[in-house]
Structure 1
Amino acid sequence: MIFDEYDIKTLIRPVPDFPKPGVIFRDITPLFQSPRALRLVADSFIQRYVETEFSHIGAMDARGFLIGSIIAYELNKPLVLFRKQGKLPAEVLAEGYQTEYGEAFLEVHADSLCEGDSVLIFDDLIATGGTLLAAAKLVRRMGAKVFEAAAIIDLPELGGSQKLQDIGIPTFSLTAFSLDER
């Protein structure tokens, strides 16, 4: 890895009581305000995956798009967009899931993947795992498989990484926070 976990943690802003009281939101926008930090984050993922065998990158709406698109470009892989409900114009597959705050739906264009494709699914953060688990179900419904689930941040106490691993999906993150860590 290009920089250590402590360095990246200093670039992630904790926002207490957002979007509801008691939650510490992990804001990655400071990473994007620093060209050097963005390059270090992107390069860390690129180095991890440059010699691995998968066919596509699947990026989650919306913050997963930010790094996922850079990685797809640098690794010369097709980018599959997993969007919130109602945002894609063509035929979609949809999957409902639970978030920390309620229920939501994730959609993907029905023709995004083919049988035999292998997808690195990417988001900014793994919390309860709902979004990435929904994406994994959509990938499998199209006959493809999930290579790995990756994120900048993991919140292991919320169990998302473990849920993904329990269904056979390896996970990777650049850093992790405990729920009360500031």
Structure 2
Amino acid sequence: MEIVVPPTETPYEKPTGERRGLIIVNTGNGKGKSTAAFGLAMRAHGRGKAVKIYQFMKVPSARFGEHRAFETLGVPIEGLGDGFSWKSKDLEHSAQLARDGWARARADILSGEFFMVTLDEVTYPLIYGWLDLADVLATLQARPSSVHVVLTGRDCPPEIVGLADTVTEMRAVKHAFDAGIPAQRGIED
């Protein structure tokens, strides 16, 4: 490890643009996409902002750690799907659930009622062709200027990456699962 001298002067100039709603994407094959989005939701909620979270692959009855925490805090979080595709018994039903969920998420984005709307794992129904990319792009562009939208999932379509204000790609360096260690409650869920 190399020791570095801490900066003593601000390493950037203060931006002069106006504040507005952002499109934030967390993508890539590394862990942390949803976790980072949930951290943003917590930060916004802590500032008294209205937040809504939609999870496109989780079932409505899911009781993962994030559901328990957000329910305790009064942050609405909704599972819209029936699990990942390899668990689905009917992919057309899964696609219809994604379309129905998108209609609800779209309405909330356009309503301006929420400071932040999180679309967790939305890239999967997009890349499977279950959601119309043009409609998602049009919705992101038409949203009220005060609404932040956070999108997560692997393989984010380049059109969304191009439209986004902030894109972070999580890169896997090492993962316990690859060493045969199963998912841990409180870490992976």
Shorter-chain TM-score bucket reads: 0.3 to 0.5
Question: Which protein, 1 or 2, shows the higher relative CO under an 8 Å CA cutoff with sep ≥ 6?
Answer: 2
Asked which structure has the greater CA Rg, the reply is 2
Instruction: Give the TM-score normalised by structure 1.
Output: 0.38
Structure with the bigger percentage of helix: 2
Structure with the bigger percentage of strand: 1
Instruction: Give the TM-score normalised by structure 2.
Output: 0.37
